[in-house]
């Protein structure tokens, strides 16, 4: 998935959230201000950050480190490449304050919220055996939207 597809899926998922009872605030992402919380391995849109060293801080989101010749004498001679953590401007997001003693702002894309709601309708937990499992997992975005339609119509039980 890339950021453009994430934006399209979020636009398609946003109307579902009101129907499922999600009361969090819906808003559009601003450039560089919001976080989607996903790992998007789109090598065409890597985040570029100047750096004075080549150490890898986060191996999960680090794509590479460059040493361009034009930066040879600068204070920051390296450029770190990482997977994008900000959604595109205009991506539908949902968010709200969460926490009791020290509430913090929590946000995610509309697509992530809908996918999590659908998947967790099929989560089972047996307290006697301490066994937790999913009875259904989607194979793609189309499955999530089809199952959301079925769940909202009352035709399928998790």
Residue 29 lies in a domain: yes
Residue 27 lies in a domain: yes
- The answer to whether residues 37 and 4 belong to one domain is yes
Residue with the larger pLDDT of the pair 140 and 42: 140
User: For residue 70, what pLDDT band results from cuts at 50, 70 and 90?
Assistant: low
The H-assigned helical ranges of the chain are 3-20, 110-120, 141-153
Residue 102 lies in a domain: no
Q: What is the dihedral of CA 54, 81, 91, 17, to 10 degrees?
A: -60
Per-residue tokens: 121? 């309708």
Residue 153 lies in a domain: yes
Could you tell me the residue range of the domain that residue 55 belongs to? 51-83
- The answer to whether residues 92 and 78 belong to one domain is no
- The answer to whether residues 91 and 39 belong to one domain is yes
What local confidence, expressed as pLDDT, does residue 76 receive?
Answer: 78
Q: Is the pLDDT of residue 139 over 60?
A: yes
The number of domains in the chain is 2
- The answer to whether residues 13 and 70 belong to one domain is no
- The answer to whether residues 69 and 130 belong to one domain is no
Residue 115 lies in a domain: yes
Tens-digit pLDDT profile for residues 86-110: 899 999 999 999 888 999 999 999 9
Residue 101 lies in a domain: no
- The answer to whether residues 28 and 68 belong to one domain is no
Least confident of 5-19, 28-42, 133-147: 28-42
Q: Which of 116, 50, 49 is nearest to 85 (CA)?
A: 49
- The answer to whether residues 92 and 142 belong to one domain is yes
Q: What is the dihedral of CA 109, 111, 114, 118, to 10 degrees?
A: -130
- The answer to whether residues 141 and 92 belong to one domain is yes
- The answer to whether residues 121 and 154 belong to one domain is yes
- The answer to whether residues 32 and 12 belong to one domain is yes
- The answer to whether residues 58 and 119 belong to one domain is no
- The answer to whether residues 38 and 60 belong to one domain is no
């Amino acid at each position: 998935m890339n950021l453009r597809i994430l934006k399209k899926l979020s636009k398609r998922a946003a109307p579902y959230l009101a129907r499922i009872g999600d009361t969090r605030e819906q808003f559009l992402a601003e450039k560089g201000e919001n976080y989607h919380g996903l790992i998007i391995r789109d090598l065409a849109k890597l985040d570029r950050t100047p750096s004075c060293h080549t150490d890898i801080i986060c191996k999960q989101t680090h794509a590479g480190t460059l040493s361009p010749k034009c930066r040879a004498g600068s204070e920051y001679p390296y450029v770190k490449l990482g997977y994008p953590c900000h959604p595109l401007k205009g991506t539908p997001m949902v968010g709200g304050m969460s926490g009791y003693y020290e509430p913090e702002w929590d946000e995610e894309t509309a697509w992530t919220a809908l996918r999590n709601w659908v998947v967790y309708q099929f989560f089972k937990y047996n307290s006697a055996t301490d066994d937790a499992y999913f009875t259904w997992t989607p194979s793609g975005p189309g499955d999530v939207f089809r199952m959301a339609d079925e769940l909202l119509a009352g035709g399928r039980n998790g």
